[in-house]
Structure 1
């Protein structure tokens, strides 16, 4: 790559009458006029080199002042303006002149000593965003010129190009857009509106725009519009930098824009490199969306190990090191440093990377502790030191979604807000967590990944609500779910699958098959890929949730009206088997049999035993099999003739869950489960059905015999195998199996039983989601399903008094008990079940809070220590 050395913007008048700038008012400024106005504005600065500051807004006046100062070889300090960090920079570096926001002349601030500024120094940019002591990056004219020409070369910028200034030029990425276009005779369309402002794109088209630059947040916003479906006319290329853009979004934008002959460049850089280091060609963005590409023209990228040895083998990580003419002169900590020459030859980026056989580099981690938020690179060690002064012993972790501050003991109520103000980032990007002691590794060092997992609902991704993992963790009442864990592994079971399914649907429009087995990272990718551009789905619920709600309502109606409406409880057992195959069986593979079983039964068993104890106290009698959960293996209390007999379902459910978890833990059975082999539930179904038929009673069938736990195991196994209906052929085969199996059950001699159970099986097999006309109906259905076991537990206490109240009479030819059940028993049972569920949730949460407070109160407090680790900070665009 060839470029002329000299001063930045020297010789731009050679482009003559060509348009250089379309300003914020729509006026056009030619290159000849730009050079003349810039030189005239710089005259008051004098001939000796000065340090001048510019509050760099996207206005013609600020840009003209910038061009003029560099053409006159003054050192320019680019500032945002109007924040505390700028004031600290002013007091430390004492600029001689300044052009403020909205101003059009140089304001004199102070007199500096002559010849105290290095002749090569061109631009000073802040390295640390807004945290810590001011530290500036010194960039020379050669740094800026070489980088501008390199960018223009790989972007193939021509004089016909016109870039929209979607980024301010105090930001190194925005600065590079200005440089690469004005140094090649192209033009700039000045604007500072959001990319989601429709008027911005109307102006873009009307003024002949051809390109724009975006940061990850820009593309998050654009996804919510019809930008990809209808990009603005005239758009030739788009660039993305300023932070990591997720690979799925890279591929999405690259593919969509390529279909319209628009090129999409992903770029990587650091302010220390003026700022561009690497770029990913548009054609590679589709095949290598996770990569930063290769070095820019004139530059060299390499990987080095801890000892500085070069790594050339593909796939081996090392620190990314860049060499090129755009590498900075060095840092400046005070005014005296401005006289220094170039003291940096290579740039150690602080990023860990690998290189593939095609020469493309991929960032895989970071060496130093910094994060990038809203274009600011923030040194976590600096933040930790600042927080430690306020709250001794604090530790700070972060990623590109936010910062987590862990304090020892109760945190200062204003700490999070004050930190947000200091860093100039939104308050919801900072979470403050009080702890009894900091989590530590075996080495005694602070466990920062663990602190990061403690992020709470206070941290939100850009305008998209709580991260899915955070929302699911709150649902499961656990601190966090790691990116590699699934809903099942985190403790999901049939008691919370309903709420989780609704949450997934809210994010994705429709719950994908097998979502409960996907890792949080995989689900997040689906959420990111879906974005907010999907149509809002019609209100509805997954089919298993509808079946569960309908079955529990039919159970209550059957008992409350005392009518022959069989099969609903059998349907609930089938759904329990279906959810076991989805949730508990996979969980046994990673957690063993007891944890999944206890998670599913920890609430139901104590409630059931409590109800039994109260019942027998009231009866002044006791039947120990009910108390110890084995009544379904005996004749039963009063042979099931009393209300206590209705609880056969709860005991059966408990035993089937417990037995099935133990079964799946058997080594050769576990092997089939890990392989997701359909033979496992098929064998269980065949064996269970054979046992059912062998012991099936003849003649008069007693209720206790029909409801024996293992007598009904085949129904549970049938629900289990329905999980494997993943193809049309399997659905047809399993439909035949289900219909055959259900006909053989003695209870299905009743027509209603046949209709309900076969209906449940077909619904689970063939219909993934059922839509409603009302969002309220969908919500109520989900709540009923979620509380189905609680409704079952309380409904006898509701319907028994009402049966006596309504008696055997009729009203308008309709049995009074049926009318009473529809109008009172069913609604009251549902309300009581929902209330009991809410009460249990509240009790559990209060218990957790009390336990946590006691743990913090009795835990020893470590001595305050300084956690700050000195080290240079790397700034990035």
Structure 2
């Protein structure tokens, strides 16, 4: 490594580093590195380096290595007191500059190059000692099996304080490739702008990275220069490996799933890209220059299984527990991984479980025993275990569960939302007196419901959207997470109760932003303490008008047309979002399913117990296919129009050109569809499909008006939508009061986003609005049961619809819970007891 500067210079004018504002050639980087090496001086020193993915960190790291110093990389903003007190670094290089401390008098072994933490940020002073030969050997192996070329450009998606992130730097600089240095997350649009702009060819990810990629629609991204993607830092679910292998095959890049440890500098094994789809459970084969053996264990009696042991030039010199260990030489030649493994018939290795108590989460290797020690040092006696992709913590004594969760999350370096915590009088134990970790896991995970009651927004979003809280990122919004008009009402009411008040743009605000909203100001009139969005109020009022008019309690027609306009309004807000095209279409597909499946199921039930419907209603096409001579022929026209409209739009927006057009000109395109609706409304094309079939096409313009209303951002745009609405309504209804009712409702939707109302009214309206689809579906079969008691029939129809809505929600929750339990059982079967 003493010739590191010469190595950099040999690549001359090739691009070495790219950032948002800087570009360095290898020659320029070499001069900066040589300058920092000179600044550190000739005497060999221990350098604690606070790392960021920027030019300054890269130059300091390479300069320290070039000067034959020993580097101890640490993440920024963390409490490194244990490390500093134990190893007394000579130099601390952080965000404020380079600080020379008192002479530590270190005796540093000649081969020692880098010290790396092994256990996330649990405060352990135990470090891995890596030599210059370790670094070079692993970099060469990685560059060989990934076929890294001089033309490659890798984005830094992982920190340099993490061996995986540092290995990306080593392997690319070794062959003269370029690094795209960035601190941005893959969930940030700016990351992909930078990646495309600099013609990025690869990036690395831990399992959590790929969860973020799922949410942003990575599978549909246009990345013309991408050659390969790597994954390590923990076991990724096989189904996700297979999904990304399929995406890679389809789009022409390669997926490499890798296995490693800090003790092996970074990598020990990789799964050849062509095997990723068919062998997603495997860690693959040893890296070039490395080899595995399997040593039998008494507790694992299955033939061919045992502890996985690795040998290679990248195996660490040994551990350091104190400053005295820095003078030690190589203390081992083989690395006992602690993983239970076997070699399959095809030669690939498979990991079956763990001997020791380590887990990997968010790319961190977390020592559960050390985590318990850290908590004990803070005065908390606890047992820590994993619960799938979460930490489960049971604390004994008089502690606050929220505070224990915070301490544990801080110590482990994971989000607090990924920690399940419970406080008990005594820790659960086995008859032998040993900790009963399965019982502790069950106790801790049972507290998630309590976390929701405490106002955990992540859990609140998970409950409403029927997903796992661990898969929800604080930087995601309601729209990002697939929220739609059917979950919007519940979400807004729950958030209003949790936060006090909501901004009108809350669906697009991240969970983090919502958590950081200022406390609401005290109001003089507390009885008018809730904000109710106009779209929600209109849904509640319109469905009551529909049921009341059908039951002949009163005659106020037009509610279904208002609902159609609101549906278009919500389509524009929750389907035509900034998310990638495939994600948009997936959200739209889910919205259609939420409407169509309950409708078909209810029709099937009604066909059995009544004579109300025809088989064509099962296709939601009665208006098109007939028969039209039945008293009940048009009962479900609103659902039919809505489902077929959404299906047609899903097909249209699958077309990339249409998707791009809407993003570039959202209001103009909405007005274009409104114009199309008006063409159909006046039958300017002379289409003859029969009166009933044409009725469905005629009604489309109400949906389009709601769509345009949602995209109207200026006064003149709202005025334009209002004008078209007024013109279209003239002559559409024979009843003037019906015209006025629909015009008033949709005009409110255009001009008044929300209204203030008593809290009780907001809750009732929200419940009715949320159940509006089920009220619409069921009311035809409910109110006739009460004969001339129209008011009782209307109330009963609304109550039945609300009850069905609640039952469907409960059923979905149970199905999700069962799915999670099955998944947890599968993971448990793959894990050591």
- Asked if Structure 1 and Structure 2 have the same fold, meaning a TM-score greater than 0.5 normalized by the shorter chain, the answer is yes
**Does 2:22 match 1:26?**
yes
Change (3 A) 1:469 1:335: farther
Name 1:82's counterpart in structure 2: 77
Tell me the SS of whatever aligns to 1:286. Answer: coil
Change (3 A) 1:392 1:161: closer
Counterpart Cα distance in 1 of 2:398 and 2:799: 39
Name 1:424's counterpart in structure 2: 413
Tell me the SS of whatever aligns to 2:276. Answer: helix
Counterpart Cα distance in 1 of 2:245 and 2:25: 34
Change (3 A) 1:47 1:387: closer
Counterpart Cα distance in 1 of 2:805 and 2:256: 53
Counterpart Cα distance in 2 of 1:543 and 1:23: 48
The counterpart of 2:11, out of the listed 9, 15, 27, is: 15
**Does 2:63 match 1:68?**
yes
Matches within 5 A, 1:337-352: 337-352=325-340
Deviation at 1:167, TM superposition (A): 1.6
8 Å contact kept, 1:457–1:466: no
Deviation at 1:267, TM superposition (A): 0.8
Deviation at 1:826, TM superposition (A): 4.4
**Does 2:131 match 1:135?**
no
Counterpart Cα distance in 1 of 2:150 and 2:419: 44
Deviation at 1:74, TM superposition (A): 0.7
**Does 2:277 match 1:286?**
yes
**Does 2:799 match 1:831?**
yes
Name 1:277's counterpart in structure 2: 268
Deviation at 1:472, TM superposition (A): 9.6
**Does 2:391 match 1:412?**
no
8 Å contact kept, 1:329–1:341: yes
Change (3 A) 1:448 1:287: same
Which has the higher mean CA deviation after the structures are superposed, 151-160 or 387-396? 387-396
Deviation at 1:260, TM superposition (A): 2.4
The counterpart of 2:206, out of the listed 199, 212, 215, is: 215
Name 1:623's counterpart in structure 2: none
Which has the higher mean CA deviation after the structures are superposed, 361-370 or 536-545? 536-545
Counterpart Cα distance in 1 of 2:207 and 2:467: 25
Deviation at 1:221, TM superposition (A): 1.4
Counterpart Cα distance in 2 of 1:349 and 1:239: 21
Deviation at 1:434, TM superposition (A): 3.1
Counterpart Cα distance in 1 of 2:150 and 2:166: 18
Name 1:592's counterpart in structure 2: none
Change (3 A) 1:140 1:270: same
Counterpart Cα distance in 2 of 1:411 and 1:531: 43
Change (3 A) 1:342 1:837: same
Change (3 A) 1:308 1:446: closer
Name 2:87's counterpart in structure 1: 93
Change (3 A) 1:102 1:239: farther
Name 1:493's counterpart in structure 2: none
Counterpart Cα distance in 2 of 1:81 and 1:473: 30
Change (3 A) 1:50 1:393: closer
What TM-score, normalized to structure 1? Answer: 0.56
Deviation at 1:567, TM superposition (A): 4.2
Change (3 A) 1:392 1:252: closer
Deviation at 1:367, TM superposition (A): 1.3
Name 1:112's counterpart in structure 2: 104
8 Å contact kept, 1:59–1:190: yes
Counterpart Cα distance in 2 of 1:61 and 1:274: 23
8 Å contact kept, 1:411–1:432: no
How many residues in Structure 1 have an aligned counterpart in Structure 2? 558
Change (3 A) 1:780 1:833: closer
The counterpart of 1:335, out of the listed 298, 323, 346, is: 323
8 Å contact kept, 1:247–1:289: yes
Counterpart Cα distance in 2 of 1:200 and 1:89: 32
Name 1:35's counterpart in structure 2: 30
8 Å contact kept, 1:549–1:784: no
Counterpart Cα distance in 2 of 1:377 and 1:462: 27
Deviation at 1:238, TM superposition (A): 1.1
Deviation at 1:172, TM superposition (A): 0.7
Matches within 5 A, 1:66-465: 66-84=61-79, 86-101=80-95, 103=97, 106-113=98-105, 116-306=107-297, 316-388=304-376, 394-399=382-387, 401-408=389-396, 411-413=399-401, 414-435=403-424, 437-441=426-430, 443-454=432-443, 455=445, 456-457=447-448
The structure whose Rg is larger is 1
Which has the higher mean CA deviation after the structures are superposed, 410-419 or 278-287? 410-419
Q: Deviations over 1:421-471 (max 9, x none)?
A: 233321111121134654444544333233223414378999797779996
Q: Deviations over 1:572-621 (max 9, x none)?
A: xxxxxxxxxxxxxxxxxxxxxxxxxxxxxxxxxxxxxxxxxxxxxxxxxx
Counterpart Cα distance in 2 of 1:181 and 1:273: 18
Tell me the SS of whatever aligns to 1:827. Answer: helix
Counterpart Cα distance in 2 of 1:428 and 1:817: 50
8 Å contact kept, 1:406–1:433: yes
Counterpart Cα distance in 2 of 1:473 and 1:376: 21
Deviation at 1:241, TM superposition (A): 1.1
Q: Deviations over 1:291-325 (max 9, x none)?
A: 1111000001122222699x996xx4322211111
Deviation at 1:532, TM superposition (A): 9.1
8 Å contact kept, 2:82–2:123: no
8 Å contact kept, 1:545–1:785: no
Counterpart Cα distance in 1 of 2:306 and 2:143: 29
Deviation at 1:26, TM superposition (A): 2.6
8 Å contact kept, 2:775–2:797: no
Counterpart Cα distance in 1 of 2:785 and 2:412: 70
8 Å contact kept, 1:20–1:31: yes
Q: Deviations over 1:61-84 (max 9, x none)?
A: 211111111112110111112211
Q: Deviations over 1:206-257 (max 9, x none)?
A: 2232111112122111122342223312111111111222111111111212
Deviation at 1:139, TM superposition (A): 0.4
Deviation at 1:32, TM superposition (A): 2.4
Q: Deviations over 1:114-154 (max 9, x none)?
A: 6x100100001112211143111110001100000000000
Q: Deviations over 1:14-73 (max 9, x none)?
A: 22222222244232x222222222122111322221101211211112111111111121
Counterpart Cα distance in 2 of 1:224 and 1:787: 35
Name 2:713's counterpart in structure 1: none
Counterpart Cα distance in 1 of 2:400 and 2:331: 43
Tell me the SS of whatever aligns to 1:354. Answer: strand
Deviation at 1:280, TM superposition (A): 0.7
Q: Which runs of 5+ in 1 are unaligned?
A: 475-498, 500-529, 555-564, 572-730, 732-751, 760-766, 800-814, 843-877
RCO greater where, 1 or 2, for CA within 8 Å and sep 6 or more?
A: 1
8 Å contact kept, 2:374–2:411: no
Q: Deviations over 1:691-715 (max 9, x none)?
A: xxxxxxxxxxxxxxxxxxxxxxxxx
Q: Which runs of 5+ in 2 are unaligned?
A: 470-489, 491-581, 613-617, 619-629, 636-642, 648-695, 697-702, 707-765, 811-833
8 Å contact kept, 2:256–2:270: yes
Counterpart Cα distance in 2 of 1:836 and 1:254: 41
Counterpart Cα distance in 1 of 2:139 and 2:584: 36
CA RMSD of aligned residues (A): 4.8
Deviation at 1:409, TM superposition (A): 6.0
Name 1:535's counterpart in structure 2: 587
